[in-house]
Amino acid sequence: MHISEGILPFPWALLWSLVALPFVAIGVRRLNLLAREDLSLKPLVGLMTAVVFIVSCLPVPVPTAGTCSHPCGTGISAILVGPLVSVLIAAVSLLIQALFLAHGGLSTLGANTLSMGVVGSFVGFLAFRGLRRVGASLVVSGFVAGLLADWGTYAATSLFLSLGIRGDAPLLPLFTRVLLAFMPTQLPLGIIEGVATAGMVRLLYRKRPDLLLKMRVITEKELPSHA
């Protein structure tokens, strides 16, 4: 993620921005709708934005890919507030990083939002809900959600980079090389993010099961006996 400023040709940067924009707009609408029903949601979204911002500010440079590698945090945000609001959280975090930390760029904000916000959030959310539906525990579901949200983000980033820089070269070999460039750092980072996501879900279940219930992460039948 964090594709650097100037890496993508303008037509590709514009395309990804146009694709990402409707998701951000729907995320704003979704947040406003939920906030009207529950006034405590916006503070939670603010907290999750801070979490995603901090987590995704820990870059590991990948010179061979023209970008950097790091955790994303969208797995846990998608679990707690849903994928659409998580897209908005990612977009705000990436915008602040581009403006003040030189992580990523304004021209690549659409591509970065699309990979981390859209792909990461929806992959993590669908993985979590799918596993819960077939009876997996919160910990297992949280781990897989964090893992796949991270890896999905970097698979999308590899695709966006490859499409932008390939010229007349075949796409698949270049995509494979870019993806392989990420693997030494992103494979272990994805596992770490999976563990962290599972840990956060487990901690919330022990300390704030009411929050998980309110956000429909668990049902009333799953509340701990002391809650």
Give the number of residues written for the chain. 227
Give the torsion sign (CA, 156, 83, 96, 208): negative
**Of 69 and 135, the one with more pLDDT:** 135
Q: Tell me the per-residue pLDDT of 43-91, one tens digit each, with 9 for 90 and over.
A: 999 999 999 999 888 766 655 555 556 888 999 999 999 999 999 999 9
Q: Tell me the per-residue pLDDT of 196-219, one tens digit each, with 9 for 90 and over.
A: 999 999 999 999 999 899 888 998
pLDDT at position 66: 54
Contacts (Cβ under 8 Å, ≥6 apart) of 174: 162, 165, 166
Structural contact between residues 155 and 190, judged by C-beta atoms closer than 8 angstroms: no
Architecture of domain 10-222: Orthogonal Bundle (1.10)
Q: pTM of the prediction?
A: 0.91
Distance, C-alpha 219 to centroid of its chain:
25
Domain boundaries, the chain: 10-222
H-helix or E-strand spanning residue 60 = strand 60-62
Contacts (Cβ under 8 Å, ≥6 apart) of 175: 158, 159, 162
Quickly state the pLDDT bin for 38 (edges 50, 70, 90). Answer: confident
